[in-house]
Amino acid sequence: MRKHPFTYLFIFLSLVTSSFSFADEIASKHHICIACHTHNAKSVFPGPQLGGLPADYIYQQLDNFKHGLRGDDAETEMMKNIVLGLTDKQARGLSEWASDHEVKQVFDVNKASDTVGFKVYEEKCLDCHNSVIGRFMTDSPRLEGLNSGYILKQLALFKSGSRTVAEPSKHQTKMISVIKSLTDEEFLSLTTFIQQAGQ
């Protein structure tokens, strides 16, 4: 039986309006994230820049916050509550949007390439984090948009086992074991290097 032309019109219109309303729904959440996730955010809890991070990484981190895998202080609890207020579809849409955002470089290894800690970074971290190919091969996030306070906090969380991944990949497992294997001396010089490179 042939469908009446109005049936097609109806299907078309409902597809168009439903995609508009989803886009509007995501857009209505942008301002919440933007308030904290730009490089010069004035919020009480400024967060790291999200631009340039793969959408899948951002989505995975939202899921990690939701499941308490990113620590349990006031900042991570707040992110957890924000994620609990999102549907899965919104979290995916916001991850795509945030990934496309502009990022201003903050962490720059050249600012501290004459420190002892640079050698530790060069030997233990650089291959995965500092080139497009390295990041692509290992699914590692770019560190350029991060400041030293955030980076050092994350290293401390990885080291103490408070930041984990539900089903870690080979590279995620390696990342965590590398941090845990650093001697106190190496960790200290890495800290000084990061403080200088990420300010």
The residues that touch ligand HEC, with contacts defined as CB under 6 A, are 29, 32-33, 35-37, 43, 45, 47-48, 50, 53, 58, 60-62, 70, 75-76, 78-79, 82, 94, 98, 124-125, 128-129, 138-141, 143, 146, 151, 153-155, 165, 171-172, 174-175, 178-179
Closest residue by Cα to residue 176 from 107, 117, 125? 125
Select 1 or 132, whichever has its Cβ closest to ligand HEC: 132
DSSP states of 50-113 as a string? -TTS-HHHHHHHHHHHHTT-B--SHHHHHHHHHHHTS-HHHHHHHHHHHHTS-------GGGGT
User: Per DSSP, what are the bridge partners of residue 85?
Assistant: none
- The CA distances from residue 171 to 61, 64, 128, 154, in Å, are 16, 17, 9, 16
Nearest distance, CB of residue 19 and ligand HEC, angstroms: 20
Select 37 or 66, whichever has its Cβ closest to ligand HEC: 37
Select 3 or 123, whichever has its Cβ closest to ligand HEC: 123
Nearest distance, CB of residue 159 and ligand HEC, angstroms: 10
Nearest distance, CB of residue 17 and ligand HEC, angstroms: 24
Select 1 or 30, whichever has its Cβ closest to ligand HEC: 30
Structure-block tokens of residue 51: 């631009």
Select 50 or 106, whichever has its Cβ closest to ligand HEC: 50
Q: Is 154 within 8 Å of 48 (Cβ atoms)?
A: no
